[in-house]
Structure 1
Amino acid sequence: MLPLNLQSDLIQTAEALADAARLAILPHFRSANLQADNKLSQGFDPVTQADRAAEIAMRDVLAERRPMDAIFGEEFGVTSGESGLTWVLDPIDGTRGFLSGTPTWGVLIALSDESGPQMGIIDQPYTGERFIGGFGRADWTGPHGGGTMQVRTTQTIQDAIVFTTFPEVGTPEQAAAFGRVAARAKLARYGMDCYAYALLAAGHIDLVIEAGLQAYDIQAPIAVIEAAGGIVTDWEGNPAHNGGTALAASTPELHAQALALLKKTG
């Protein structure tokens, strides 16, 4: 357990990172001059000047406040540290949504040690919402106020609202697995990027199921959801903080039912 004064400093640093990312990103959102480069030779994985500017801004904050910590960022990779702590940064999770003008993207900030994420922020600059989890906190703030986050108490798939980002989810086999859950759920929705994880933590939906993730896509959501009382694993029930597949659920009972459907063959 980290000392309370260190926990407070780390949370203040995380909020400073989110503030810096907001300032760097918002001038580009819904801008007529916004352009994107494609990271892939086949397919489309966009990166914009806003992605790069936000990560640079966050790295500048860390260089001033926490130069002893390591950094793992989507755009500029790994910078080593000596404290045993790593800041895991996704400056814009949901760049496709960002390009499309939808407010479903967000800034993901996690603080991790060798065991995984200990604290995280999901920040949506355009709507002004911020979701923080870890070190005894599970709260949100936004233009209409704020409060404590608590996941829903849904017990069965039949009563659950489930989200994923892409209808195809991942491989054909993974899409079929998601389909088994969606077919039994009360409601399935698509295309929310990291905002879906925030909605789960805040008690509005019950399940988020995704595949093809990187560590920087999932570490902040894990911290936020677990702080709000939820559970996040991969599709085998193992830790998900290194990426791959993710199953986030509001209750253990719901997680177990969804996990069985995802693992079902035939």
Structure 2
Amino acid sequence: MQHENIRTKIDLANTLADASGNIIKKYFRQPNLEAETKTTEISSIVTIADRLAEDAMVAIIKKEAPNDGIIREEGENIPSKNGYYWVLDPIDGTSSFVKGLPIFGTLIGLVDLDNNLPLLGCVNQPILQERWLGIRGQPPCFNQTIIDNIYTNNINYQLTEACLTSTTPLMFVTPRQQAIATRLQKVCRRTAFGGDCYNYVSLAMGWSSMPMVILESDLKYYDFCALIPIIEGVGAIITDWSGNPLNSHSTEILAASNQILHQQALKVILS
């Protein structure tokens, strides 16, 4: 994608983040909020804030980039006319949102789907006014400041020193997934549940008191597409459980603070 075009897409991503954030803020910590649990997915909640925030982003994309397609969580996908798709998750971490906890985010990704190239990723946290932006081939930024992660270049850490993180143990559905999760939990120094997209941005930032490994399954493309340019941009690693690049059909995710930890975790998974 040409420089002028990616600049336009960055501006559009920020517009989408602003528009969705304004809606989400109106509904945050509101009692008796309209919500329902999706019967087809484990521990998946949707609220009126999810739907309205997504609808607002879709309307903007249709107006500003009518040739781009849209892959969305709540509504029908829209085919692309040029190979580019916006991948939208209006509230990743709705379980935190409905509890009044500001550890959720709006995920906005842009991908060249034909070539499986995530071009842009934005994570917006409207309550705390935190925004991450990753552009393929460039260092990502947090609130317009380039991220500096101390864990990514340190090859001395071992898996036994890492914190293993997953949003919920319920996401490990099959006996195989449960066995893999148990093996890694026994090796890593600590296991922590919860967090959704905040696990990934924490890994990217190096916020944790120890290096991180994230193991998740039962995910959809909109759960992780926007995170790829941010994770990879700082030098951390994100793949599937076989070590392959993620794509729109991936459901099992492994992320690590650096290549060494990722290789050690893969060895446990594949053992």
TM-score, normalised with respect to structure 2:
0.90
- Secondary structure, in 3 states, of the residue corresponding to 1:123? strand
**8 Å Cα contact 1:133-1:228 kept in structure 2:** no
Which residue in the other structure is 1:50 paired with?
49
CA-to-aligned-CA distance 1:143-192 (integer Å, 9 cap, x gap): xxx62124423531122122110024412431331222222223221100
* Superposed counterparts of 1:163-174, under 5 Å: 163-171=165-173, 172-174=175-177
Distance in 1 (alpha carbons) for counterparts of 2:41 and 2:259: 39
- Secondary structure, in 3 states, of the residue corresponding to 1:88? strand
> How many matched pairs?
259
* Superposed counterparts of 1:215-226, under 5 Å: 215-226=221-232
Give 1:196 deviation, angstroms: 0.6
Distance in 1 (alpha carbons) for counterparts of 2:122 and 2:194: 20
The answer to whether residue 244 in structure 2 is matched with residue 245 in structure 1 is no
After superposition, the Cα gap between the structure-2 partners of 1:188 and 1:42, relative to the gap in structure 1 and judged at 3 Å, is closer
After superposition, the Cα gap between the structure-2 partners of 1:148 and 1:182, relative to the gap in structure 1 and judged at 3 Å, is farther
**8 Å Cα contact 1:117-1:241 kept in structure 2:** no
**8 Å Cα contact 2:69-2:85 kept in structure 1:** yes
Distance in 2 (alpha carbons) for counterparts of 1:50 and 1:218: 20
Give 1:116 deviation, angstroms: 3.2
Amino acid at match of 2:133: I
Distance in 1 (alpha carbons) for counterparts of 2:178 and 2:147: 30
Which residue in the other structure is 2:194 paired with?
191
Which residue in the other structure is 1:149 paired with?
147
Distance in 2 (alpha carbons) for counterparts of 1:4 and 1:87: 18
Amino acid at match of 2:147: M
After superposition, the Cα gap between the structure-2 partners of 1:80 and 1:189, relative to the gap in structure 1 and judged at 3 Å, is same
Q: Percent identity?
A: 36
* Corresponding residue to 2:242 among 208, 228, 236: 236
- Secondary structure, in 3 states, of the residue corresponding to 1:213? coil
After superposition, the Cα gap between the structure-2 partners of 1:259 and 1:150, relative to the gap in structure 1 and judged at 3 Å, is farther
Which residue in the other structure is 2:127 paired with?
126
Give 1:223 deviation, angstroms: 1.8
Give 1:126 deviation, angstroms: 1.3
**8 Å Cα contact 1:123-1:131 kept in structure 2:** yes
Give 1:240 deviation, angstroms: 2.1
**8 Å Cα contact 1:122-1:131 kept in structure 2:** yes
Give 1:42 deviation, angstroms: 8.2
- Secondary structure, in 3 states, of the residue corresponding to 1:78? coil
**8 Å Cα contact 1:91-1:107 kept in structure 2:** yes
Give 1:46 deviation, angstroms: 1.6
**8 Å Cα contact 1:163-1:196 kept in structure 2:** yes
Alignment RMSD (CA, Å): 1.7
Distance in 1 (alpha carbons) for counterparts of 2:52 and 2:62: 15
**8 Å Cα contact 1:159-1:186 kept in structure 2:** yes
TM-score, normalised with respect to structure 1:
0.91
Q: Which has the higher strand share?
A: 1
Amino acid at match of 1:119: L
After superposition, the Cα gap between the structure-2 partners of 1:103 and 1:148, relative to the gap in structure 1 and judged at 3 Å, is same
Distance in 1 (alpha carbons) for counterparts of 2:57 and 2:145: 26
Distance in 2 (alpha carbons) for counterparts of 1:202 and 1:36: 32
**8 Å Cα contact 1:150-1:229 kept in structure 2:** no
- Secondary structure, in 3 states, of the residue corresponding to 2:109? strand
Which residue in the other structure is 2:213 paired with?
207
Amino acid at match of 1:202: M
Q: Which runs of 5+ in 1 are unaligned?
A: none
**8 Å Cα contact 2:167-2:196 kept in structure 1:** yes
**8 Å Cα contact 2:134-2:140 kept in structure 1:** yes
